[in-house]
Structure 1
């Protein structure tokens, strides 16, 4: 697969940092899901790379200029404990506009507190992460036809 994807050839997965890469089809799906809601583009940033450093341990350090700024927040974290999710949740609620969309990935065991913290429900579409030994699920605080369909890359288990 590395020969077909230049990113994978340059950036190997790193189990020590919980860095695993989604399959090409899963990336395509996630991009199309976000494009449904992220179609507003402010031209004043067109020439600026606009990178903003974010440390999940310090959600209070996020610039006030981003408060209730985004139509959609996507959370794809390397760490998945409740304590860490409480910090992600604080940041997401700060960043997303009222009525905004939240899309996230985590393990099934986190389902109860994901609903509690973010009002997000587990969806049928599950991301394919070929080299990860356990399966993540996608959760959202909105309904979506795409998220209601199963990913054909993920086998059915009884």
Structure 2
């Protein structure tokens, strides 16, 4: 995240700093940078025109600023669109309800590709309350403290646990079990490759060839796991040793 206080000449940011009777004042340059930062923090997660592709009609998804204290790292465009298109492929005309656990980027791209799809975003960050009834507050430490109408209501559940720990994945797995329909659900999990064995043990998931990427370059290897064979999509299931 950009540090607004990092300036070559910080002393220029204060006017009359030596006058103890006057409160310190920010320079116009710092005020402008602060306003830009605050606008970025509160920018809605949605779809906006891409100025570089106005004639082609392409749209870019506008995302809120990542809050690294909440372990937020948004997918890059290719990853978000690839996973969103996979989810839409799995949807049936009569049943297109999708649950997104801690993956707001995917929520935004699903809405971009199909405004009519019913997507429930389960998120800890209450900035996403702006999405109204599409938003459900979610704390992975309380995996089943969710509205009763969500129980076993989804054929498609996509999850991106906020932390790369076995404890976090175990609790998210409880939430997935709460949301998904027994024996008839498609599960997609985006998390670190180190969780491969735990994902298989808890939910019978296997890694796909497709490698998710983030806008912020992370050092950890990320993988996409599913409980179904995607065939030629997503790079297919990775062959077991």
State yes or no: 1:124 paired with 2:204: no
Post-superposition shift, 1:18?
Answer: 2.0
Alignment gaps of 5+ in structure 1 = 151-158
- Alpha-carbon distance in 2 for matches of 1:50, 1:6: 17
Post-superposition shift, 1:41?
Answer: 4.4
| SS of residue matched to 1:70 | coil
Residues 1:143 and 1:75: Cα distance change in structure 2 (over 3 Å)? same
Post-superposition shift, 1:52?
Answer: 1.8
Please say which structure displays the higher CA radius of gyration: 2
Post-superposition shift, 1:22?
Answer: 1.1
| SS of residue matched to 1:21 | coil
| SS of residue matched to 2:163 | coil
Post-superposition shift, 1:149?
Answer: 5.2
The corresponding residue for 1:115 is: 200
RMSD after superposition:
2.6
| SS of residue matched to 1:112 | helix
Residues 1:41 and 1:148: Cα distance change in structure 2 (over 3 Å)? closer
The corresponding residue for 2:56 is: none
Measured against aligned partners, the alpha-carbon deviations of 1:44-86 in whole angstroms (never above 9, x if no partner) come to x8xx733222211112212222221101110012212111111
Residues 1:118 and 1:149: Cα distance change in structure 2 (over 3 Å)? closer
- Alpha-carbon distance in 1 for matches of 2:68, 2:96: 35
What is the TM-score normalised by the length of structure 2?
A: 0.53
Q: 2:161 aligns with which of 77, 81, 87?
A: 77
Alignment gaps of 5+ in structure 2 = 1-39, 41-50, 53-59, 98-115, 119-131
- Alpha-carbon distance in 2 for matches of 1:12, 1:133: 20
Q: 1:87 aligns with which of 148, 163, 171?
A: 171
What is the TM-score normalised by the length of structure 1?
A: 0.79
